[in-house]
Chains A and B, each alone.
Chain A
Amino acid sequence: MQALTVLYDPECGLCRRAHEWLADQSKIIELKFVACASDEARKRYPQLNHDLTKKDLTVVDDEGWVYFGPKAWLMVLWALARYREWSYRLAAPELLPTTKRVVSMISQNRYQIGRAAGLNS
C-alpha cells in the first residue's frame, strides 16, 4: 500500500482543521485528500456509494479497498509515522468498541463541535 485517498467533508470546519493538522504530520503512507461526493471523487471511484461518503469519513487505498467511519479514522492514524502504534492500540479488540463509539459521536456532531470551537468560519 502506497497511498490512501481520504474522502472528507469540505463543509465541516473540524474536518478542515484536521486536514491542516494531517498535512503537517510525517507520513508512512501518502494521504490524498478529495472532497466527498465531488466530481473528482466520482471520477476516481465510479462505483462507490457517494451518499454514504457524505455521512462519514471514507478512506480508499490504492487497490480499491474501502474503509468507512471509525475504520477510516484508524487507517489515517496508521498512515502517520507517530501514530501507527496508536492505530493498533485503538483497533485492539478491547478498545475497538469504545473507539467506534467515540469516533461516531465526534463524526455525527462534527458541525456542532466545529461551531463550538469557532472553526466553521
Chain B
Amino acid sequence: MTIGISTYLIYLAISIALTIWVARTLHKNGRVFLVDVFHGNEALADSVNHLLVVGFYLINFGYVTLALKLGYAVTSAEQSIEALSVKVGMVLLVLGGMHFFNLFIFSRMRRRSHAQPNNHPPVNPDTFTATAVHQEA
C-alpha cells in the first residue's frame, strides 16, 4: 500500500468517525428539544429527529466524498500528515457549521412553538367614533 492510498484511507476513517460522532450527539441531545417543540408528541419528535440526522449524514458524507481528491502525489509521511491536516480540518469546519445550523433550526422551532398568543392589535387606535351597527341589518 502506497503512502498516498494510506493517506486517503486515514482521511476517510477519521472523517466518517467524526461524522458519526457528531450525528449521534445531535440525535441524542436534539430529541429533548424536539419533544418540547412538539408539546410532548414523542413519536413525531423521534420521526423529525431521525429525518434531520439522515440529512446531516447525507450532506457530510457528500462533502467528505467530494473533498477526497488531493490533486498532488504524497511521497513522505510529512506530506501525508500535512495533507490530512487540511482535509480533516475542512471536514471539521463543515461539521461545525452544519451542527450550528441544526442548533439554529432547533431553537427556532422551539421559539415558534412557544410564541405568545397574538390577540392584541399591533398598534393603538387613533380615535373613537360611535358606530351605527344596529342600522345595518
| A interface residues (Cβ-Cβ under 8 A, vs B) | 1, 43-48, 60-68, 71, 74-75, 77-78, 84-85, 87-88, 90-91
Contact = CB atoms under 8 A, between A and B. Distances in A.
A84 B118 contact: yes
A44 B129 CA distance: 10
Contact of A43 (B123, B124, B125, B132): B132
Contacts of B130: 45-47, 64
B129 A45 contact: yes
A20 B76 CA distance: 73
Contacts of A84: 118
Contact of A48 (B129, B135, B136): B129
B133 interface: yes
Contact of A44 (B123, B124, B127, B132): B132
Given A63-B131, A65-B127, A71-B124, 10 more contacts: A43-B132, A44-B131, A46-B130, A47-B130, A65-B125, A66-B128, A75-B122, A78-B121, A87-B122, A88-B122
A61 B113 CA distance: 29
B129 A47 contact: yes
Interface residues of B, number: 16
B126 interface: yes
B126 A68 contact: yes
B126 A67 contact: yes
Contacts of A44: 131-133, 135-136
Nearest to A79: B121
Interface string B94-137: 00000000000000000000000010011111111111110110
Contacts of A71: 123-126
B126 A64 contact: no
Nearest to A29: B121
